[in-house]
Amino acid sequence: MSLPKIIWTKIDEAPALATYSLLPIVNAFTKSAGVTVETSDISLAGRVLAAMGLAEDNLAELGKVVHQPDGNIIKLPNISASIGQLKECISELQSQGYDIPDFPENPSTPEEEAIRAKYNTCLGSAVNPVLREGNSDRRAAKAVKKFAQNHPHRLKPFAQNSKAYVAHMNGDGDFYSNEKSVTMEKAQKVTIALNGNELKTIDALDGEILDGTFMSVKKLRAFIQKTIDDAKANDVLWSIHLKATMMKVSDPIMFGHALEVFFAPVFEKYADTFKELGVNARLGISDINKKIVGHEKEAEIKSAFQAVVDADSPEIAMVNSDRGETNFNASNDVIIDASMPVVVREGGKQWNRNGDAKECVAVIPDASYGLFYEEMVKDCVANGQFDVATMGSVANVGLMAQKAEEYGSHPTTFEMAEDGKVTVTAEDGTELMSFDVEKGDIWRMSRAKDIPIKDWVRLAVERASIEKVPTIFWLDSNRAHDAEMIKKVEKYLPEFDTEGLDIQIMDVASATRFTNARVREGKNSIAVTGNVLRDYLTDMYPILELGTSAKMLSIVPLLAGGGLYETGAGGSAPKHVDQFLKESHLRWDSLGEFLALAESLRFIGRKHSDEKLQALTEALDKANEGYLDNNKAPSRKAGEPDNKASHYYLALYWAEALANSNNSELAEKFAPVAEALKENEAKIIEELLAVEGKPADIGGYYKPNDELAEKAMRPSATLNGIIDAI
């Protein structure tokens, strides 16, 4: 019987490298049960080439798959590109012979505007809004949680009188305080205008929630200055934490303002030179250094930046002490959902210029999400570090379907060109919202459609019924958007069977305190959140609980009936690639892919009853348990088994489970495979380790050469022979 296919996304960096080793194994096993696994290239390089008409638009094709009842996609983490990353990718592709234009930073002609518009489609969160046509179900698999408790990773203690803290704007001039929100009573066009000049017209749906808000840049800069002064007084490291990749319009602007405020004397003194060179603070110090290379004032400007650091400024947190790269190196270097769990994990500390851990202030301008991180740090300062061996789990049901909320706001985020009034007006003439703004302010609209919201409530009730633990909607009645969401939740909850369930609504700070108290008691909870908090919570708690969010089950039940299976976070992927290129050692853990594959196969099995498929899936479950129980995760050190070896062990455990399967056909097929893999264990590991410690040539960072990358990731002739013969 021919079963539906699984589409495995070809993406970027460490998980892409791992795929060269893992996918041949996956295909060798799944084809025995009639399941084919095909790849689809949605890497940054692939998307750039598609935008320029030099490759198929695979992302658009996958956008159709997610609307199919049998759609089944395993999505690995992809680059949400900053401008700096996009420019690097373009440069690499040009060096590989692709005839594509440079990225126009400041387009001045219609031709440059057109080129920039094409490249803009590759920036930030370009993939997720297309594929996430369903809401999010993220939780730790029981075997993963059990392993973490039995083999707890180390969380650094908080000092008894820790000075670590989070600073946010406290509802003064930020997105939180300026927000207004309406629920549409009918479908119609809605126009956003500044002083009567149209910025954007959208097609709003009946029942859709529309939010408008803005960040006062004047108040943002004053806030940044205050955090700098306070950090100096408190003798803590200063760092800013944003999401300049996903929030590709608003957050780079905020990053640029922070850099300009911190180094105000330099930007004031060299304003004319920076204008001449096209310096853009939003791209960070690394880009400034590139722009001033060879200029007569290069040394003088670098000295001026250093003088600020050496003078009355607080120390800046480093992203790489060895290379002298600070928090200001590039806007995409410090991504809040990856960086803030590390602050908590390290006991409220980051690293200074000498590579020493020091307590810090984490600056998160918008209170909407600063409140969550503030409570996390406060809790640990007051109660000490969490205990990995006993702490409870926090599962998440996240609203993200159909570009819900802030992460889908890029097309409706604008930097104000002048002082005045922003109006949001319906086609029938009704003024829905208005805002008094100043030049440079960041205005945005985010949206949440009614069908995804109802499905979000349904999924929350479903998970609450299964888990039987308190299920909390993280919604703040004092935030305009959340107040509208609460009305929806209260409307839809009675439509589902909630008898005997503990379902509550709490503001972010209260929900964090409630959840953390249960975590410390070893009790589980479900957090039901919007799109951004989904992202932030499903990195924070798993990194503390499990050591990484890559080990989470991340399931997206698609609205059309299909399934999207995500494989964890790629925040550490660049460092993994750096190590691999240097010494052929890849420490990426593919457990997220293993777990996603099992869920993907299970999804097919629920729709298409098939004995072989059931046996294959059950055997993979056992293989995953064996992988965890025997602690076969990659080592961090070269010369020890890495990602390639972890794939060998998955194949071994999977084959052994199939050899003992009740399905006689599969048992007969895989018994000799299991025997060959077991008998050749020493030889295979020896062949895999033989390449360790030597540089790897893969022909490109953003677009590796497939032949070179496969050779680097499949160095064991013995293993390859066994797998390819299945």
One domain, residues 311 and 432: no
Q: Which of 447, 471, 501 is the last residue of a domain?
A: 447
Share of the chain above pLDDT 90, in %: 89
Boundaries of domain holding 334: 165-173+219-383
Q: How confident is the model at residue 55 (pLDDT cuts 50, 70, 90)?
A: very high
How high is the pLDDT of residue 312? 78
Residue 570 has pLDDT above 70, yes or no: no
One domain, residues 436 and 289: no
Report yes or no on 453 lying in a domain.
no
How high is the pLDDT of residue 573? 66
Residue 1 has pLDDT above 60, yes or no: no
> Which of 81-85, 419-423, 451-455 is predicted least confidently?
81-85
Residue 82 has pLDDT above 90, yes or no: no
How high is the pLDDT of residue 142? 87
Average pLDDT over all residues of the chain: 95
367 close to 168: Cβ distance less than 8 angstroms? yes
Three-state SS sequence of 223-265: HHHHHHHHHHHHCCEEEECECCCCCCCHHHHHHHHHHHHHCHH
Average pLDDT over residues 648-676: 97
> How many domains does the chain contain in total?
2
| Residue predicted with more confidence, 309 or 471 | 471
One domain, residues 225 and 323: yes
One domain, residues 298 and 435: no
- Residues paired with residue 557 on neighbouring β-strands, in sequence order: 563
Each residue's pLDDT tens digit, 187-208: 999 999 999 999 999 999 999 9
Average pLDDT over residues 128-148: 91
Q: How confident is the model at residue 693 (pLDDT cuts 50, 70, 90)?
A: very high
- C-alpha 175/C-alpha 367 separation (Å) is 8
Residue 652 has pLDDT above 70, yes or no: yes
One domain, residues 375 and 441: no
What is the enclosing helix (H) or strand (E) of 423?
Answer: strand 420-426
One domain, residues 193 and 244: no
Q: List alpha helices for 390-467, DSSP H.
A: 450-467
One domain, residues 226 and 332: yes
Average pLDDT over residues 678-697: 97
One domain, residues 211 and 241: no
Q: List alpha helices for 502-590, DSSP H.
A: 508-520, 531-546, 573-583
One domain, residues 198 and 316: no
What are φ and ψ of residue 201, in 5° steps? -120, 130
Residue 571 has pLDDT above 60, yes or no: no
Residue 215 has pLDDT above 90, yes or no: yes
Each residue's pLDDT tens digit, 492-523: 999 999 999 999 999 999 999 999 999 999 99
What is the enclosing helix (H) or strand (E) of 382?
Answer: helix 367-383
One domain, residues 190 and 228: no
Q: How confident is the model at residue 124 (pLDDT cuts 50, 70, 90)?
A: confident
Q: How confident is the model at residue 572 (pLDDT cuts 50, 70, 90)?
A: low
Instruction: Copy the structure tokens of residue 83.
Output: 């401008």
Residue 313 has pLDDT above 90, yes or no: no
Strand, helix or coil at 589? coil
